[in-house]
Structure 1
Amino acid sequence: MPQSRIRRPSVLTVAAALAALAATAPAQAHTPSALPALTPRAETPPLYDDEAGGNADADDPAIWRDTAEPGRSLVVATAKEGGLRAYDLDARQVQSVPAPAGPAPGDAPGRFNNVDLVHGLKLSTGRADLAVTSDRGNDRLRFYRVDRDRPGGPLTDVTDPAAAPVFSAGQDEINDQRTAYGLATWTDRKTGRSYAVVSQRERTRIALLELLPGRSGTVGYRKLRTLDLPSSFRLPDGSSWTPCGEPGQLPQVEGMVVDPANGTLYAGQEDVGLWRLDADLTGTPALIDKVREYGVPGTYDEETEECAPGADPGFGGKRLAADVEGLTLVTEPDGDGYVLASSQGDDTFAAYDRERGDDNEYEGGFRVTAASGTLDGAQECDGAAALNAPLGAEYPHGLLVVQDGDETPQESGREATGFKFVRLDDVMDAVKD
């Protein structure tokens, strides 16, 4: 990302007509029942989204590697109003960090949606690894320094108190919750500067933020530019299609990941498909795969708060069932690797070639299913994180962590969520087969 391209804030709007020109991956089959079934090696304790469970709802994970002792690495994960959780590689909780309250009674409380990592950011107190989370409740990013051996837990809040809302002009807009939602971070290898791309809830907008050190070891940010993905699409038969949703809502983006090798952002527009674009939000985005429901008309029912689908015109993709959710990157030493996407609608994961020159071809898929004993699989997955590096004896070839949106509860009648830990070599074998 050349520095000259990011100095001047700007707003880019991508015309809906560009969607008709977007590239699509080859129509290779992705039949859920025929995909390899992988089993987890561990799962976190269930989180309950009720008062008795602390209003905690699992959403998105990130994997922090202890380079000195890889077996002591951590998984940092969001729990929405329940804040952040840190787990060891046995999936045992080692810390719970509460989300901040709203600024005044009646204001929206903190709600941590997505999390990512920044390594070796230069602060006023020295370099540090950071867990960065989107606080949807307060429309801000929050930063937590990672120190594995700190008494009281490895995560310390180092957010600059002056950090401004990402999208909102004031508290009334924040309370409407069209706020910071999806998140991906990366460091430009040429300049050493670190960035975050943040999506806006119920909108198609994505913002580029530069991360900035503040006083006394704190971290803030400044907005550089925004980009709007399309909200309506020209179909092959000449008609126009807009994904069905609640009145006033646009097809939002949540799952995102940046390939730091080439500055490529992959973004999942939940009801549309998987986009590829420059992480500095310049250039023209390309839709590399569509959800199966792409082009299907729908009618919103206010009573059920659901969309009743019409006849399928057959313009959708073959691998992804809405919503497109958690995205993560698997890198390999030779430069190859995969972009993994959660196909939430059919409880599967799709793998795409990481190389842009190959048009991110579809390479295969897999499911995460129940293991013998007490471990169940992953359903309705919201978030995922992969790390292709040794992580101790249990994960010598790396780890994939996926959110489970339908955790088997330990207490009858309570809906629960959690995270599953899967060996990455199992994933690689499944995709390559």
Structure 2
Amino acid sequence: MKNVLGFVAGASVLAACSHGLPPVAIEAAVETASVAGTGDAADDPAVWLAANPADSLIFGTDKDNGIYVYTMTGAEHAYLPEGRLNNVDVRYGFDVGDRLVDIAAASDRSNGGMAFFFIEPDTRAVSYVGALPVAGVVEPYGFCLYRSPVDDALYAFLSDKEPGTFVQYALDWDGVMVTADEVRRVTLGTISEGCVADDRTGRLYMNEENVGVWTMGAEPGDPIEPRQIAATDGREITADAEGAALLPRGESGGWLVVSSQGDNTYAVYDLETDAFVTRLQIVDAAIDGVTHTDGIDISAADLGPAFPDGALVVQDDENDTGGQNFKFVDLRAVIAAIETAAATD
């Protein structure tokens, strides 16, 4: 059931959810139609930036059926029913020999590995490349991509749901299919899903759902020494710690945003200090508010007239017309809320 909270008089700060720290209210600007899957179906979005910002696309998984691709108006651009896909991510300039394509990839529970899609930058055509089963992963769950600032190599991180093992793969192309060679793995201990890698700084952030947020180096030669930077303690994050996204500022600054699924909020952390900054909540307005979010993504690029400074995209478990869908938030509102909280800290 949707948890509707009122505004504190004279402020945009909401009453605290349970015993969590009070979140700041923001509103969705665009939403998609509900996905075809029933029940807990929609899961994770990823933003693809087009040369013409208004032509940018949002990928969103339906973990019963496949993947949707949406325009920045929330309209359906493509639907690819390619299996039980859970988490999705996007990178640019993947070399397939005769050309460079952009790539979307997802954790694939139907085939025990990863699914790959190509995006043609000039036409926005999205095509299914195929599924790549992997050994040593029982239930593919969380997923994120990483482009190394050291040598431009492309890597994938795929989590095995239990016991929360993240496996890193080096991705390549053999002329027919994307290849994935395991380079290392780290086990956090319990169910883990959301992850995001910072291509600027070479850091990986991983969410252990009932424990908290961990970070370690994303390079294959970095020590496997995860360090906890946030706890699922009911104050900053209420279980589950789900999606993770980066809001970059400059060469190394900005914020990590984590979906606090248990109380319908988003915890924000400073990327340079790991310090907690604030919490956000997407409330009812012209578009209904957001509850029980799984995956999230952020792009701080120009995404067209409605989102000139980027967007926060989130999964909503209870759309007001039924089913689950995705909501887009103007990143200007998100940045204003974060910067105000940081200035008053």
- Per the normalisation by structure 1, the TM-score is 0.71
Find the counterpart in structure 2 of residue 214 from structure 1.
174
Displacement after TM superposition at 1:164 (Å): 3.5
Q: Please tell me whether residue 289 in structure 1 is matched to residue 230 in structure 2.
A: yes
Find the counterpart in structure 2 of residue 155 from structure 1.
126
Q: How does 1:24-63 map to 2 (within 5 A)?
A: 31-32=16-17, 34-50=22-38, 57-63=41-47
Q: Aligned partner of 1:39: which letter?
A: E
3-state SS of paired residue (2:78): strand
3-state SS of paired residue (2:156): strand
Q: Please tell me whether residue 401 in structure 1 is matched to residue 318 in structure 2.
A: no
3-state SS of paired residue (1:157): strand
Answer with 1 or 2: which has the greater Rg.
1
Distance 2:152 2:283 in 1: 40
Q: Aligned partner of 1:222: which letter?
A: D
Q: How does 1:20-419 map to 2 (within 5 A)?
A: 31-32=16-17, 34-50=22-38, 57-67=41-51, 69-99=52-82, 110-147=83-120, 150=123, 154-159=125-130, 163-168=132-137, 178-216=138-176, 218-229=177-188, 231=189, 251-279=190-218, 280=220, 282-292=223-233, 318-333=235-250, 335-355=252-272, 358=273, 360-372=274-286, 375-410=287-322, 416-419=323-326
Deviations 1:294-353 (A, max 9, x none): xxxxxxxxxxxxxxxxxxxxxxxx300000001000111353200000000110001101
RMSD (Å) for aligned C-alpha atoms:
1.9
Quick check: which one's strand share is greater? 2
Runs of 4 or more, structure 1, over 3 Å off, are 30-34
Q: Aligned partner of 1:223: which letter?
A: E
Distance 1:224 1:271 in 2: 27
3-state SS of paired residue (1:85): strand
Unaligned runs of 5+ in 2: 1-14, 341-345
3-state SS of paired residue (1:215): coil
Contact 1:87–1:95 at 8 Å: present in 2 too? yes
Distance 2:278 2:160 in 1: 30
- Per the normalisation by structure 2, the TM-score is 0.88
Distance 1:322 1:335 in 2: 28
Distance 2:90 2:198 in 1: 13
Q: Aligned partner of 1:139: which letter?
A: G
Find the counterpart in structure 2 of residue 246 from structure 1.
none
Deviations 1:13-40 (A, max 9, x none): xxxxxxxxxxxxxxxxx94483221111
Displacement after TM superposition at 1:124 (Å): 2.0
Contact 2:42–2:317 at 8 Å: present in 1 too? yes
Deviations 1:372-414 (A, max 9, x none): 2xx211100000000001111100111110000122235xxxx
User: Cα distance 1:97–1:48, how it changes in 2: closer, same or farther (>3 A)?
Assistant: closer
Displacement after TM superposition at 1:78 (Å): 0.7
Contact 1:132–1:142 at 8 Å: present in 2 too? yes
Deviations 1:180-239 (A, max 9, x none): 1101101112211100111101222110101011214x312111121111x3xxxxxxxx
Q: Aligned partner of 2:313: which letter?
A: V
Distance 2:324 2:147 in 1: 31
Distance 2:251 2:166 in 1: 31
3-state SS of paired residue (1:34): coil
Find the counterpart in structure 2 of residue 420 from structure 1.
327
Unaligned runs of 5+ in 1: 1-29, 100-109, 169-177, 232-250, 294-317, 411-415
Displacement after TM superposition at 1:89 (Å): 0.3
